Structure formats: structure tokens, C-alpha cells
Amino acid sequence: MIYLVLSIICSVTVGVLLKLAKRYQISIVQAITWNYLFAICLSALFFRPAMQDLTIKTISPIHITLGLLLPSIFLFLALSVQKTGLARTDIAQRLSLFISLSAAYFIFKEEYTLLKYWGIAIGFLAIIFTLYRKSDVQVNYTNWLYPLLVFIGFGIIDVCFKLISQQNPVPYTTSLFMVFCMAFVISLIYIIYLAITKKTPLQLVNFVCGCVLGLFNFGNILFYMKAHRAMSNEPSTVFAAMNLGVIISGSIVGIFLFKEKLSKLNYLGLALALLAIILITLAQLNVVR
């Protein structure tokens, strides 16, 4: 579970950095681009990927999917927040857990115990209660496309990372390096396009912020994959505990750091999330024993 805890800490830190970036008018698109460049440097430094493995033959559809989705999901997030509001976007992101858990059952053939069923059911209630916010944003039917893309995108990313952690021909550290390279190239093309068409200047402050963001984003993905490898027979535990852990930690940080106010329903959701994590952990321990 230590890898899950470290991944949750890094994930919440990434969220805090993105929120601070918006407050201080940092270009999130540019920061995300340089974040992947810094992640590439960290991967090369610590993993020392075997360059002979980096061939066209070793690049699988999963690598390509992740390389496309990782930078794209930030754009979907921004559009969803703009068109439907932050609350609905948060719910769509966390409810992507449904896709992950379905994959754990149908693709990875995990056996669910009664305790885990209860934990997952309570976890979904926790997601709804914790993320419920009143929104003043008027939503058109066409705008629901954006939270739907967020829902599908995050679910697919979770499943792809699990699949990569199981691959044998290419070490998962080399796979991470390839994915970061693809994501960086795609992001770089996009900011160059913005610089040419919309005269968006490239600023040093965005590069510095992107490097800091890259450190924690790298840690988030690395520890997330390590958790999947450590609990290879319990993907649902990783999927659920990660999502619920981020909700609890993110809410606590929001209360104390950003002075966010929660309703009684939100606090009930936090309590249910904690209960769900306890039940899922107990179910996992029973399986191990």
C-alpha cells in the first residue's frame, strides 16, 4: 500500500499546482508540455531505458493510446470545466472508476469478494456525496460531450497503465519513457501551433512551473504503476483506493490550504470514502492471507 500512498500524495500535489497555476496566470498548456519533457529527463536519469528496445516493433497500441490521451485529457478537462462547471467535471473524472472496475472484472478476471462489493458500492456513493456542488453554469445538451470525454478518457488511461505494468517484452520503465516522449511531442506541436496562429508567447516561468509539475506527475505515474505490479491480482483495490484516497486527501488540502467550504453532504461523502477504503483494504488483506 505504500506505493498507493505515495501516488496519492503526488496526485494531490499535481492538483494543487494546477490550481495555483490558474491563480497566478501560468499557462497550463505550456506547463503541461514542459512537464513531460522533465518527466523524460527523470526517466532517462533513473530508469536508464534500454535504447535498443525503443523500436517501431516495441511500440504497441497501448503506448500510442496513452501518448495521445495524457496531453489530450488536460484539454478535455479545461473545456469541461468551462462548459459544464468544476463540480460536474470532478464527478465525471472520479466516476471513471466504473470503467476501471469493469476492466478489473471482465479483462483482468479478478474475483470479487462480498466485502469488496460493499466497499466499491459505498465508494461510489462517497464520490457523489463528496463532489456534489451547486453550480451556476448553464449546461446545454451538446456540452455534456466534454464531461463524457473526461469520464471515458480517465477510465481508459487507468486501464492502459495496468496493461503496461503487465507487459513482459518491454520493461514498464522503458514503456513509461516511450509514453512520456509521445506525450511531449504531441504537446509541443500544440503549443507551437498556438504560438503561430494565436501569437501565444513562450515564457520561461511556464517552463519552470512545468518542471516542478513534471516531478510530481512523474512520481504519481511511477508509483501508480508500481502499486499495480505489487498488487497484480487486485487491480480493483488499486483503482478504487487511488480514486477515493485522492478525494479524501484533496478535500482536506482544499479545506486547510484553499479555505474551501464543504456541506454536510460533502462531509458524509468523506466519511463514506474512508469506510470504503477500509473495507477494500480488508478485502485485499483477506485475499493475501
Residue numbers of the domain that contains 110: 2-116+138-230
Query: Is 226 inside any structural domain?
Result: yes
Work out how many domains the chain is built from and give that number.
Answer: 1
pLDDT level of residue 205 (50, 70, 90 thresholds)? very high
C-alpha dihedral sign at 9, 14, 20, 22: negative
Closest among 6, 2, 1 to 220, alpha carbons compared? 6
Is 50 exceeded by the pLDDT of residue 289? no
Residue whose C-alpha cell is 485522492: 246
DSSP state of 110: P
pTM for the whole structure: 0.85
Long-range contacts of range 254-259, CB-CB < 8 Å, 24 or more positions apart?
A: 257/16, 258/19
Query: Is 251 inside any structural domain?
Result: no
Query: Is 55 inside any structural domain?
Result: yes
Query: Is 282 inside any structural domain?
Result: no
Query: Is 215 inside any structural domain?
Result: yes
Q: Tell me the three cell numbers of residue 24.
A: 497566478
Collapsing DSSP to helix, strand or coil, 170 comes out as: coil
pLDDT digits (tens, 9 = 90+) for 138-158: 656 677 888 889 899 999 999
What's the chain's average pLDDT?
85
Query: Is 203 inside any structural domain?
Result: yes
Query: Is 59 inside any structural domain?
Result: yes
Query: Is 207 inside any structural domain?
Result: yes
Closest among 73, 20, 1, 12 to 209, alpha carbons compared? 20
Helix, strand, coil share of the chain (percent; to 5): 80, 0, 20
